[in-house]
Amino acid sequence: MKIDKCKKASFVVIGKEGSTSDGEGFIQKLWDDANSHFGEVQHLAKKDENGNIAGIWGAMSDFSRSFHPWEDFCKGLYLAGVECNDDAEAPNGWTKWVVPGYEYIYAERENEDTFSEVIKYLGDNGLQLTGAVHDFSCPQTGKRYMFFPIKKL
Q: What is the DSSP string of 94-137?
A: -EEEEEPPEEEEEEE--STTHHHHHHHHHHHTT----S--EEEE
Whether 118 contacts 73, CB under 8 Å: no
The count of structural domains within the chain is 1
Which tens digits make up the pLDDT trace of 115-147?
999 999 999 999 999 999 999 999 999 999 999
Whether 76 contacts 132, CB under 8 Å: yes
At 61 the pLDDT is 98
At 73 the pLDDT is 86
At 78 the pLDDT is 98
Over residues 96-112, mean pLDDT: 96
Which tens digits make up the pLDDT trace of 29-73?
999 999 999 999 999 999 999 999 999 999 999 999 999 999 998
Mean pLDDT estimate for the chain: 96
Q: Return the CATH number at 51.
A: 3.20.80.10
Domain that holds residue 104: 3-152
